[in-house]
Amino acid sequence: MPTTKARQHLISLNDLSDVALRAVVDRGAALHRSLATGGKVPGSPLDGLVVGVYFSKTSTRTRTAFSAGALRLGADIVAYGPDDLQLNTGESSEDTGRIMSLMLDALVARTAGDPAEMRAWSAQRRMSVINAMSADEHPTQALADLTTLTLQFGRVDGLRILYVGEGNNTAAALALALSRYPDVLLDLRTPTGYGLPQQVLERAQAQAQAAGSVVRQRHDMTGLPGDLDVVYTTRWQTTGTTKPDPHWRDGFAPFQVTAELMDRAPKAVFMHDLPAHRGEEVIADVLDGPASIAFQQAESKLYSAMAVLEWCVVAG
């Protein structure tokens, strides 16, 4: 049986030191290289452990990645849907988390709400709590993205990335992660009123300044940077959210990733966290074209999830 050492939590990328961030990303890339070619994880590091997977919102990639990843690492899983817990009958979130921590070794949770709920669950060290997406941040998506970049380019340092679309939880996590690598340019183009939250932008810019990188945001599509390595977008209607303005699509229309935009960056790959709506944030010819690595990016979520589980539950 594994030891009962104190376990780590991943609620935000801020929970990872620079060393830990790189270690998780590099481990995800190493697992991808090994397992995608038929290898196995030696020793089943999560053998004898139980991982809870609780998603109160829809998920395809993240839920599958953590479920399959936990199984591949030797753990057993307990899956909860949005209607399965006594939260729906009035039990407090605090009591729910306390009970789970007595029975599980890790809990992977997507609430798409205030991360304070997961913070409350993490006020103990018996059960790791992993944020599989909250309203403000999608940290495991960013780790999968950096894993994908490492596999594609052999590095994250020095990459030039254009992000186009809403400043949502994926964009926030991407900014908070990339800004900790040196010589990176992250140019965010977001519609007016839909940019990164100011506190996230300021933190990312402060981290970038310390790392010798640049994070900047504009609300138009003029004066785009040249010599890009990556063009990245996400769906315009973020999972679990709605937009109060009935005409919001008018403001988003100039931020569609088109063939013309990709032609301006002939060396760039295209990334998308999926699900995608062809004809909205990206045209089909780009998403399904030769520059797209969106589905390789989705596959990386499995190996990145495994690296997160190892770091939280075993390595710390």
Binning pLDDT at 50, 70 and 90, where does residue 174 land? very high
User: For the segment 24-82, what is each residue's pLDDT rounded down to a tens digit?
Assistant: 999 999 999 999 888 788 888 999 999 999 999 899 999 999 999 999 999 999 999 88
- Give every CB contact of residue 84 below 8 A, 6+ residues apart in sequence: none
**pTM metric for this prediction:** 0.95
Cis amide leading into 275 (omega within 30) = yes
Residue found under tokens 């994880």: 41
List the alpha helices (DSSP H) in 218-293: 248-252, 259-263, 284-287
pLDDT band, residue 2 (cuts 50/70/90):
very low
Cα–Cα nearest to 187, from 149, 214, 212: 214
113 backbone φψ class: left, alpha, beta (φ>0; ψ -120 to 50): beta
Q: What percent of the chain has pLDDT over 70?
A: 97
Between CA 283 and CA 45 the distance in angstroms is 42
By C-alpha distance, which of 151, 135, 172, 138 is closest to 295? 151
What percentage of the chain reaches a pLDDT higher than 90?
A: 84
* AA identity, residue 165: G
Q: Given this model, what pLDDT does residue 240 score?
A: 62
pLDDT at position 1: 39
d(CA 78, CA 301): 20
| DSSP string for residues in 79-134 | EE-TTSSGGGGT--HHHHHHHHHTT-SEEEEE-SS-THHHHHHTSSSSSEEEES--
Give me the mean pLDDT over the 199-218 stretch: 98
Q: Is the pLDDT of residue 3 over 50?
A: no
pLDDT at 316: 60
Determine the average pLDDT of the residues in 253-260: 98
Spatial CB neighbours of 295, under 8 Å, sequence gap ≥ 6: 274
Domains of the chain, earliest start first: 13-138+301-315 (3.40.50.1370), 141-297 (3.40.50.1370)
> What pLDDT is attached to residue 112?
65
- Residue 40 sits at the vertex; the CA angle it makes with 37 and 46, to the nearest 5 degrees, is 140
pLDDT digits (tens, 9 = 90+) for 76-110: 999 998 889 998 899 999 999 999 999 999 999 99
**Predicted pLDDT at 198:** 97
